[in-house]
Amino acid sequence: MSRIVFVLGAGASAEAGAPMMKDFLDKADWCRTNRKVRDPADFDLVFDAIHRMDATMAKGHVDRDNLESLYGLFEMAELTGRVPGLDPAKARDLTQALRTVIAQTLEESIKHPVRRAVAEAPEPFGRFVDLACGEERAWRQSVSFMTFNYDLCLDYALLMRGVRCWSSPTEGATPQGWVDLMKLHGSLNWRREEAGTVTEVPIRAVKRPFDVDGSDVYVPWSELLGESPSGHDPFIVPPTWNKGEYHKAIAPVWRRAAAHLAEAEYVGFIGFSLPEADAFVPALFALGTEGPAKLKRVAVFDPAESVDERYRQMLGLSMRARLVGHRMSFSEALRVRRSRGGDVAAGGIADDLADILGEVPQRRRVTGG
């Protein structure tokens, strides 16, 4: 298990270009209007349903511009088959269409820098992997990652840095020398099989004759998959009331997460605002940290001061003294170093690793991402 656990939220992927939940539908509508999508019928269905349900959302105080709220409403529409003026058969396709909208909006938002005809890891994920994983196997085995993001930013950064990661949603021990990556809300490269199990489609490096060396490109998530994406419907866990049913399908991932938290001496939350509607995270943290290891520090890297208070409310009294709020973005957390003897909160991720592990090995190759 891991001494160091990093937990990434939407704020981390936002630095690579991914829209936040509250802005997601605006970006999706821009992609649709500007014909940047491969499946316009799914986009049209989603926005047609939003238009038809305006009155319904007003009655129930549902925020039509928030992806979390909309996903919950679409799930209820699927169950009841009721959307004013919409064919019930189409109503039953709403969540599948919304998953397509999510996947294709992310691919038109996340930027990959191109170097020597290779799409590199989105920034700043490559630098994060360089810092967090180090050179030596012993160091790597001290670190694990959890993410609530559907995208493949961290997966791809680990791949491009030569770090073998275990991100499978199925049962099984993590191979020796591999790093655990636990995707707690599903992933664009996961799919549900007919038997109900969830499996992973391997990703691959994207190499083709880009003519924009030194610039950024948008890479279709399907191009990252190691096999034909035909008919691939991503398995993602919506941030809604019905989440428990989804979590049963990927219970092994949550069990691994709890096991890592039980052994952790340090948990660093990066760009994760701890949404009030997500009761699973406080429960996972409380149960997971009931282990033999002494948790020395809970670090929160987020520029918003209000986020710290949410974490204080999540933590018990004995834990609150170990909470350190760093008012900085993901990129800043990778750059900042505190002065000798300086305030712990003024330091970045490298300082935290040095405090816990005693040293911060540097990878030799620090190009891109």
Instruction: Pull the structure tokens for residue 72.
Output: 């919950």
Instruction: Pull the structure tokens for residue 30.
Output: 């821009």
How confident is the model over 175-181, as a mean pLDDT?
90
Domain ranges of the chain: 4-17+115-357, 21-107
Amino acid at 46: V
Indicate the average pLDDT of the chain: 85
How confident is the model over 88-117, as a mean pLDDT?
90
Residue-level pLDDT at 366: 42
Residue-level pLDDT at 279: 64
DSSP 61: T
* pLDDT of 42 strictly over 90: yes
* pLDDT of 169 strictly over 90: yes
Question: By percentage, how much of the chain surpasses pLDDT 70?
Answer: 86
Q: Is 278 left (phi over 0), alpha (psi -120 to 50) or beta?
A: beta
Residue-level pLDDT at 125: 97
How confident is the model over 205-221, as a mean pLDDT?
79
Q: Cα–Cα distances in Å, from 304 out to 11, 16, 162, 297, 327?
A: 11, 19, 33, 19, 7
Sheet containing 297-301: order of strands: 165-166, 179-183, 143-147, 4-8, 266-270, 297-301, 323-326
Contacts of 49 (CB under 8 A, 6+ apart): 74, 77, 83, 86, 90, 91, 94
The model's pTM is 0.90
Residue-level pLDDT at 230: 58
* pLDDT of 33 strictly over 90: yes
- Give the model's confidence band at 367: pLDDT under 50 very low, under 70 low, under 90 confident, else very high: very low
- At residue 351's C-alpha, the angle toward residues 349 and 357, to 5°, is 100
pLDDT per residue as tens digits for the range 323-356: 999 999 999 999 988 887 778 888 999 999 888 8
- Give the model's confidence band at 247: pLDDT under 50 very low, under 70 low, under 90 confident, else very high: confident
Please tell me the distance from the alpha carbon of residue 122 to that of residue 140, in angstroms, as a whole number.
21
DSSP assignment of 94-121: HHHHHHHHHHHHHHTT-EEEEETTEE-P
Q: Strand, helix or coil at 56?
A: helix
pLDDT per residue as tens digits for the range 190-200: 998 888 889 99
Distance from the Cα of residue 184 to its chain's centroid? 8
How confident is the model over 224-246, as a mean pLDDT?
70
* pLDDT of 254 strictly over 60: yes
Residue-level pLDDT at 4: 93
Please tell me the distance from the alpha carbon of residue 270 to that of residue 264, in angstroms, as a whole number.
16
Residue-level pLDDT at 160: 93
- Give the model's confidence band at 135: pLDDT under 50 very low, under 70 low, under 90 confident, else very high: low
Picking from 124, 99, 102, 119, the residue whose alpha carbon sits closest to that of residue 19 is: 102
CA dihedral 176, 178, 184, 187 (to 10 degrees): -130
CATH number for the segment(s) 4-17+115-357: 3.40.50.1220
| Residues 185/236, Cβ–Cβ less than 8 Å | yes
DSSP alpha helix (H) spans, 141-288:
153-160, 221-224, 243-249, 251-263, 280-288
Q: Which residue has the higher pLDDT, 9 or 356?
A: 9
pLDDT per residue as tens digits for the range 61-92: 667 777 877 887 888 888 888 888 888 888 88
Amino acid at 5: V
Residue-level pLDDT at 276: 65
Residue-level pLDDT at 365: 43
| Residues 263/2, Cβ–Cβ less than 8 Å | yes
CA dihedral 314, 320, 324, 325 (to 10 degrees): 40
Give me the count of residues in the chain.
369
Q: Give the start-end residues of each E strand in the chain.
A: 4-8, 111-115, 118-119, 143-147, 165-166, 179-183, 186-192, 198-200, 216-218, 234-236, 266-270, 297-301, 323-326
Lowest mean pLDDT among 40-49, 304-313, 329-338: 304-313
pLDDT per residue as tens digits for the range 257-298: 999 998 899 999 999 988 765 666 777 888 777 766 688 999
* pLDDT of 176 strictly over 90: no
- Give the model's confidence band at 229: pLDDT under 50 very low, under 70 low, under 90 confident, else very high: low
Instruction: Pull the structure tokens for residue 250.
Output: 């990927």
Q: Which residue has the higher pLDDT, 360 or 290?
A: 290
Bridge-based pairing state of the strands 186-192 and 198-200: antiparallel
* pLDDT of 150 strictly over 60: yes
